[in-house]
A = this chain, B = another copy of it.
Amino acid sequence: MAKLVSLADGVADLVHDGDVVALEGFTHLIPFAAGHEIIRQRRQELTLVRMTPDVVYDQLIGAGCARRLVFSWGGNPGVGSLHRFRDAVQHAWPRPLELEEHSHAGMANRYVAGASGLPFAVLRGYTGTDLPRHTTNIRPITCPFTGETLTAVPALRPDVTVVHAQRADRAGNVQIWGITGVQKEAVLAAHRSLVTVEEIVDELEPVPGQVVLPGWAVSAVAEVPGGAHPSYAQGYSVRDNDFYRAWDAVSRHRDTFRAWLDQHVYRAGAVA
Contacts and interface: CB of A to CB of B under 8 A. Distances in A.
Interface of A: 117-124, 137, 139-141, 143-146, 148, 150, 152, 154, 206-210
A224 B149 CA distance: 43
A118 B105 CA distance: 14
Contacts of A121: 122
A119 B143 contact: yes
9 contacts: A117-B124, A119-B143, A120-B122, A120-B145, A122-B122, A137-B145, A143-B152, A145-B152, A208-B208
Contacts of A118: 122-124, 150
Nearest to A121: B122
A89 B210 CA distance: 44
A148 B154 CA distance: 12
Closest 6 CB pairs of A and B: A206-B208, A145-B154, A119-B143, A139-B144, A119-B146, A144-B152
Most buried by B among A143, A146, A206, A209: A143
Contact of A210 (B122, B145, B208): B208
A120 B141 CA distance: 11
A238 to B, nearest CB: 20
Contact of A206 (B119, B150, B209): B209
Contacts of A210: 208-209
A144 B148 contact: no
A118 B120 CA distance: 15
A154 B210 CA distance: 32
Nearest to A151: B144
Contacts of A117: 124
Nearest to A139: B144
A121 B152 CA distance: 12
A240 to B, nearest CB: 27
A142 B257 CA distance: 47
Nearest to A137: B145
B144 A141 contact: yes
A141 B147 CA distance: 12
A212 to B, nearest CB: 9
A123 B123 CA distance: 14
Contacts of A143: 119-120, 152
A137 B144 CA distance: 10
A162 to B, nearest CB: 25
Contacts of A148: 119
Contacts of A145: 119-120, 137, 139, 152, 154
